Structure 1
């Protein structure tokens, strides 16, 4: 079963932020604001009154949103305290302006059977606070905190509260027995709130909204200090963009409600999924709920074509793009999610790998079959299909994911290869990254021959990248045209060979030194999507904006080479612009300005206000405290006080506090405590062994506290350094041991072993 499952009440109707739908019965309850001129407004979007997003759990047990209509500001809280029961609070905050009212609009969720009409079996006279309603075969008992009048319409029923009252509570419960709720852990987890149930099955309207919020937020990822409230935006960019595909009764997470819904001013009918967008959603969802992440990945993987590639896009209205794919980031993001799901291979979510591996391998191999372009390198392309837009220059651009980048202004389509006449360094490097991650996955799944084949291909790709794309005179990689000349355009994709580990350290430093300058790809803020010196740079969309996916791929490459000073500056600046937009406006943007004087809020600016992959800028900053890497976790102090709480691992909730000292804990149990100058790398924790390699960024000796393995008793064996002898030491209070670190910056390997194991 995918998570979240399509059961019970939720906010997953793509069109409305202020609506709850009961998925089994198709009942929908929309909350709207009545205006002095008689209108009822409930079609809130970021450009029509959506003010601020509150917390939203993955499963929808709690959701909160604030909207504005004229002078009225409405705070809406929706909770699902037990199966099939909806409780809501709708309050006009600040004041109750004259003539503004609150309304509940009951109708049928799009996609529900057409015979699911709304009816009043026994229509009362006048206003009342108790109602019996029927939607299709499902009868509901509705309780209101104040009397409301009913106005039936064509397939809808409007319940209207009287003017002058600011706070309204309501509850919906099945009448005469429970509706079909679904089954499994999610249904069972919706437990009855103490003291809320009444004998008739309705809910006491005194339900504690604040307690519900505290309970929901207690398990949510959180942050403070240098990170500010970035973790809020990180999670809500995903959970508020999770919607129901009513055609298949499937819950999906597109990049943005506004982007995919025509009714909200978007480009599709009611839903759409895009290739690399979805993989980045899956990556950042992992620390919220790894089952949620696995479901997100599967949404796109199951759309792979008969030729074996993951399409650029699939939607209800415009179908699937069988002519083109999108950047191959699937294996890297899935493997990163796997590493994020636990502290060692012993505990990580293996299903993330097994569910994705066959499709990812087929997609990887498709590139070399279908996208050989100039110089034997890979190039973006589009195959001829029945779609008249296929096999065109525009479609090859869209396969790159960088749709209107100046890099592709002057390219031509080659009808023989079905590619651009431009060999792209970014694509070739990403294909190597994809192959390396796939090899690591294959090895863990016992596919050793495939792993060896992939590693050999990655090495060959690395040699080709050096031969074809390195411009010795310029000191960095450049795209190459079919005629052999280097392309004049520069973009952050020239950094992607770092992520693949292709250049030697000296060449990597030269690459960074020549590109991270203010007139090219440095400056403040850094990493515009094309060089600031480019004739096509105009700060609009892919012609100069800052994009989360691009920044993520660049910074991951810089981290691979240990270029920490560059990483720190880039991440700090990008976190600043992310925090400003989230904390001031409740926005997580599709893209961000590359010049502080640019306004990205008008519609013409083309920067969606809540697009999930914008949370990658927050993720980059979180990684400064905790970063899962192939060799193990890296924990470090970011240089400023910060806290990151409740990262969801299979072992429990991981939290990192960086104050006077660095402290890492799992469900409150200390894993690491160290001076702020200590960097803990390659950290793994199995049942009987903890391993890490630490180094200091400051002078002098230091002390490190490590939590012992779960299997440890009163004593453990500790090995510090490569030449030292193991020592048996008593376990201290809190199931920890303290290690004295030698002075100096050299890495120090440390192993702590329970009596059942032996230090390697």
Structure 2
């Protein structure tokens, strides 16, 4: 399964958040507001009247949105089946709601006729449109509606259906997490669009960013490589199949060399001269691990689909981007007919950090087509990529040794060649270390490069308040960097950078650093969502700065911004190669509806920590107990407890539900324990491995 199939009613016309179109034909119903002087407005974007997003299902069959113009609010709530649609339009203010019936852009250009009796003709299709109450006015395909109107449309001759209720399980959060789950989900589902030229449903990072008619930079669609990988990662907990489809849409763009392009779009084509940061294997592996509670239940199809492409992309970097000191450097290859290829500007764009001060003074080596700067972030991410590929290879029974060997050797080279006293630094071809500092200098921690002592020294130095600490934390350029400003990659807080940096700090168990950072980033995330319904492309580094205007260069709804919510959810539930980690974040919090292949996972942290699947508790623990390495399949549950001793309850696998006792091993002690209502209750010491097994 992939992103949704292109059929039925949905909100996937890229231009309009207030439009519903029917696929594959393209008939569209879009809503506008009309002022007293007859002026119509339907160009609702984040900078022009889009107020708040409601729930939106992955398949588009339920959606709710609020907009405003002419001092009037308009709330639209829609639900439907494959061919029927019911929309409730509610207004408050002087302007009138207007329904416009036409054909969406990019289809066959067929005329649309709306008869006074509500019969709609679109090519060979005939539909019945009903409004309750009846329209106040009708001018052809434009209907002026009463302030509160229910609009129904169905194929002519089909029976009438009533409005459907909002669908069931979805990602929800509460307590300390606020409604970050809603923010994460809606930044994905509301950015899902249909590309008529491809005949395909896509989820770009942002529909505003890709659509020229919404002040975007492309025609009607574009995909960017690292943007899409991060979007797929966040989507994994909304719907694993949906995430797999998002990953596939960029994996499909690999060229014959194995390179994934920086960007591919409808009007500007491909960037075959350059790629983007190699985060594919890490995000795909993370999404795979989060799709189930054991190797038997996770989505093998995701690994099998992604591994060959990711393996080839990893090899491309080693063939195409070796620069100073035999380390990797960003670059751009010469392309026939492309005068801007093999230039410094294009090499900067390959980094994903378009205007970072780290690359202000770089030059491009004409022999290698790489920067004259060995980059800490790129080299570390390639090691991370190798480690993830090694895990994936082992799971797929593919050879993994070369990835392990590369990660070990490349990590040692980073440690030897890019270490400058108390931190890792980019290094010029002439041997000098760059003075510039950004969160990319924390990426070696994600790669497992430094010793624990060196990792702590890096975190202490870089996360000082005058550098990358303070509030908000992890600006894209350190505050004490001479190139720091409040603009774009020169200072704004970007979720992808923050995610990779925090993941690195977490790898070394530096919770005193990572915990406050995650909390501060969550406050930043929820602040914009609560105030503006925004999940931002980047977040202001100066509290109170308004980053909404177009000139500020911060899109209002971008999927990868949800990584800040993802980081916070990981404090409660985090899938790792050795099993799930469950922990109490030290404050009341809850997450419900994490979508797994087995069902929907929830974690509630209050006086105790309770992990449940489809409402049935899997673990019930004292608040101070940390669980790592949790795996569960049909015959066994494994976990490690630490942080404190206590009585825990562990749900046995389904195959043991009817048994009166099961085998239990706690550390070296083995025996059998009684089962009551499918649960084993165990008193465990601190730092113990626990296995519940059906013999």
Alignment partner, residue 47 of structure 1: 47
TM-score normalized with structure 1 length: 0.90
Alignment partners' CA distance in 2, 1:730 and 1:490: 57
Alignment partner, residue 660 of structure 2: 714
Alignment partners' CA distance in 2, 1:203 and 1:166: 22
Alignment partner, residue 244 of structure 2: 294
Alpha-carbon shift at residue 604 of structure 1 (Å) = 2.1
Alignment partners' CA distance in 2, 1:576 and 1:2: 33
Structure 1 outlier segments of 4+, above 6 Å: none
| C-alpha contact 2:331 2:370 (8 A) present in aligned 1 | yes
Alignment partners' CA distance in 1, 2:403 and 2:604: 39
Q: Which moved more, 1:706-715 or 1:335-344?
A: 706-715
| C-alpha contact 1:313 1:320 (8 A) present in aligned 2 | yes
Is 1:636 the counterpart of 2:630? The answer is: no
Is 1:738 the counterpart of 2:681? The answer is: yes
Is 1:151 the counterpart of 2:139? The answer is: yes
Deviation by residue 1:169-191 (Cα, 9 ceiling, x = unmatched): 01110114xxxxxxxxxxxxxxx
SS at match of 2:397: coil
| C-alpha contact 1:142 1:202 (8 A) present in aligned 2 | no
Deviation by residue 1:547-584 (Cα, 9 ceiling, x = unmatched): 10001001111111111121110000000010111112
Alignment partner, residue 748 of structure 1: 688
Alpha-carbon shift at residue 467 of structure 1 (Å) = 1.5
Alignment partners' CA distance in 2, 1:133 and 1:24: 16
Alignment partners' CA distance in 1, 2:445 and 2:79: 46
Alignment partners' CA distance in 1, 2:565 and 2:434: 33
Alignment partner, residue 144 of structure 2: 160
Alignment partners' CA distance in 2, 1:274 and 1:48: 25
Alignment partner, residue 194 of structure 1: none
Alignment partners' CA distance in 2, 1:137 and 1:461: 62
1:429 pairs, out of 354, 374, 380, with 380
Alignment partners' CA distance in 1, 2:260 and 2:682: 49
Deviation by residue 1:423-473 (Cα, 9 ceiling, x = unmatched): 00100000000011011111111112xx1111111111111101210112x
Alignment of 1:214-613 (within 5 A): 216=167, 218-385=168-335, 386-448=337-399, 451-472=400-421, 475-613=422-560
Alignment partners' CA distance in 2, 1:670 and 1:147: 51
| C-alpha contact 2:7 2:82 (8 A) present in aligned 1 | no
Alignment partner, residue 181 of structure 1: none
Q: Which runs of 5+ in 1 are unaligned?
A: 125-129, 177-199, 756-760
Alignment partner, residue 139 of structure 1: 126
Alpha-carbon shift at residue 290 of structure 1 (Å) = 0.6
SS at match of 1:477: coil
Alignment partner, residue 705 of structure 1: 649
Is 1:202 the counterpart of 2:160? The answer is: yes
Alpha-carbon shift at residue 113 of structure 1 (Å) = 1.2
SS at match of 1:645: strand
| C-alpha contact 2:34 2:98 (8 A) present in aligned 1 | yes
Cα RMSD, aligned residues only? 1.2
Deviation by residue 1:501-543 (Cα, 9 ceiling, x = unmatched): 1111111111111111011111122111111111110111100
Alignment partners' CA distance in 2, 1:26 and 1:241: 18
| C-alpha contact 2:332 2:342 (8 A) present in aligned 1 | yes
1:118 pairs, out of 112, 131, 139, with 112
Deviation by residue 1:60-91 (Cα, 9 ceiling, x = unmatched): 110000000121100001111x3200110111
SS at match of 1:413: coil
Tell me the number of residue pairs that the alignment of Structure 1 and Structure 2 aligns.
691
Alignment partner, residue 169 of structure 1: 150
Alignment partners' CA distance in 1, 2:544 and 2:466: 17
| C-alpha contact 2:3 2:202 (8 A) present in aligned 1 | no
Alignment partners' CA distance in 1, 2:63 and 2:253: 30
| C-alpha contact 2:528 2:534 (8 A) present in aligned 1 | yes
| C-alpha contact 2:332 2:350 (8 A) present in aligned 1 | yes
Alpha-carbon shift at residue 599 of structure 1 (Å) = 2.6
1:107 pairs, out of 95, 102, 105, with 102
Alpha-carbon shift at residue 597 of structure 1 (Å) = 4.1
Alignment partners' CA distance in 1, 2:118 and 2:353: 53
Deviation by residue 1:733-755 (Cα, 9 ceiling, x = unmatched): 3x11111122x5xx210000012
Deviation by residue 1:673-705 (Cα, 9 ceiling, x = unmatched): 111100010000011000001101x5xx31111
Is 1:656 the counterpart of 2:607? The answer is: no
| C-alpha contact 1:492 1:554 (8 A) present in aligned 2 | yes
Alignment partners' CA distance in 1, 2:377 and 2:37: 56
| C-alpha contact 1:141 1:202 (8 A) present in aligned 2 | no
Q: Which has the higher contact order (CA 8 A, sep 6+)?
A: 2
| C-alpha contact 1:143 1:202 (8 A) present in aligned 2 | no
| C-alpha contact 2:47 2:548 (8 A) present in aligned 1 | no
Alignment partner, residue 184 of structure 1: none
TM-score normalized with structure 2 length: 0.98
Alignment partners' CA distance in 2, 1:504 and 1:556: 16
Deviation by residue 1:33-77 (Cα, 9 ceiling, x = unmatched): 111121111110011110000000000110000000121100001
Alpha-carbon shift at residue 714 of structure 1 (Å) = 2.0
